[in-house]
Amino acid sequence: TEPKPESPGNDWSFWPTYDSASLGFRNYWYPLMWAEQIGDKPVPVTLLGEKIMLIRDGDDIRALHDRCPHRGVPLSLGRRQYEGTISCPYHGWTYKLDSGKMCAALTDGPSSPINNKISVRTYPVEQRLGLVWVYVGDGEAPPVERDIPAELIENDFAVGGRWDIRQGNWRFAAENGFDEGHAKYLHNTALWRLFKVMPAWNETRIVEEDSWLIRVQDAVHWEADFPGLGKWTNKRWYKRMPLPDAPGKAEDINPVIKSLDIPGFVSIRLPGLLRVAYPHFIHYEWYVPVDEDNVRYVQLMVRFEKGLKAAAFKAKYLGAIRWLFHGQFTAQDAWMVDVMDAPPEKLYRPDLSLTAWRRHIEKVAPVAQQDPTVRVIK
Ligand code: FES
């Protein structure tokens, strides 16, 4: 065989695993949407580039590869003709929802020799936190709890959230979430900042704790003088208002959040989950790869309370947080994720959060998803 010609481009990288993971990582559980959104009608989704059909089957939700093996028609267009099955709309091949086994080729009679010989791939599914979770991986799936922060399993809480599909690769979205500098500048105009004051810049370092990378603030600078330019401050016009998070003000911190003892405000972990811990609630956002150009953005805001306090938080979420934070604030992030164009890139000191995240991935070495649409015909 001919030796391969040398690549003229960039064939060397500091982070080869990360660079190859434009479709995300296999062997993780991913949240997709609210469980109550899945009914008897099939819902087509794309996860890590794989076409999947979600459908309710009693209390369970099933996930099948959304492709009839006969001629490749999406099963999500099919009919729910017999209990516990889906029939392909084209020639009526009928599959069991729980196993993916083709139990009848309706157009070839009851004793068709192909019956029970064909299967479509099924995916493990769980329902937690009101969300549907699907596992894309090889071998037996680990418990879904492995991929859910422990504090969300061990405590009572009130939760509000939203999910949507945004443009841009999931890695840009994850990097944006953990990116230190953008919070100080891009979000300078966010309405959320009416309630949350932000520093002008921080001195930070990244620490690794359990499975999390955490951005620790060693020094917080509320303003800075730039010779020839003037003062830069994030306090702006409302700086004299009695802000709940104002610097120097003694915090009363929710006991669950206090017990977590998180050394920094923002943390990230595989396969792409950001945690932003405020004194009274925690914001989580998952960057779930759809395909190379789209990311499913799942946001939860959690308050660890029961009873009246939980109900009050739910009202506050629906009346304000949903629009200010899960709306306008993170829409600013979505804007940058959509328009940015890297590499090439030139990094500066605050980008140590990005490089720590990439290094972490090289160390853990998860399995990058390969293009599932490439099929070998044997
Ligand atoms: Fe599905 Fe023919 S394509 S039954």
- Tens of pLDDT, residues 307-336: 999 999 999 999 988 888 888 888 999 999
Residue 296 has pLDDT above 50, yes or no: yes
Residue 9 has pLDDT above 80, yes or no: no
CA of 89 to the centre of ligand 1 (A): 7
Best residue among 53, 85, 87, 88 to mutate for probing ligand 1, ranked by most atoms within 8 Å of CB: 88
How many CA atoms lie less than 13 Å away from 153 in the CB half-sphere?
10
ipTM above 0.90, yes or no: yes
Residue 199 has pLDDT above 90, yes or no: no
Q: What is the pLDDT of residue 43?
A: 98
CA of 327 to the centre of ligand 1 (A): 42
The amino acid sitting at 124 is P
CA of 67 to the centre of ligand 1 (A): 9
Best residue among 53, 65, 67, 68 to mutate for probing ligand 1, ranked by most atoms within 8 Å of CB: 68
**Mean per-residue pLDDT over the chain, rounded:** 90
Residue 260 has pLDDT above 70, yes or no: yes
For range 181-195, the mean pLDDT: 79
Best residue among 64, 87, 91 to mutate for probing ligand 1, ranked by most atoms within 8 Å of CB: 91
| Per-residue confidence band for 375, with pLDDT thresholds at 50, 70 and 90 | low
Closest ligand 1 atom to residue 88 Cα is 1
Closest ligand 1 atom to residue 92 Cα is 4
For range 249-266, the mean pLDDT: 83
CATH 1.25.40.10 matches 41-122? no
Residue 374 has pLDDT above 80, yes or no: no
Level-2 CATH architecture, domain 149-364: Alpha-Beta Complex (3.90)
Q: Which pTM does this prediction carry?
A: 0.91
Q: Closest residue (by CA) to atom 4 of ligand 1?
A: 91
For range 84-94, the mean pLDDT: 98
CA of 90 to the centre of ligand 1 (A): 5
Closest ligand 1 atom to residue 93 Cα is 4
CA of 94 to the centre of ligand 1 (A): 9
Q: Which residue has the tokens 């030796």?
A: 3
- Beta 93-96 vs 131-136: how paired, if at all? unpaired
CA of 373 to the centre of ligand 1 (A): 18
- The string over 221-235, giving b where at least 16 C-beta atoms fall within 10 Å of a residue's C-beta and e elsewhere, is ebeeeeeeeeeeebb
Domain positions in the chain: 41-122, 149-364
Closest ligand 1 atom to residue 71 Cα is 3
| Per-residue confidence band for 238, with pLDDT thresholds at 50, 70 and 90 | very low
CA of 98 to the centre of ligand 1 (A): 19
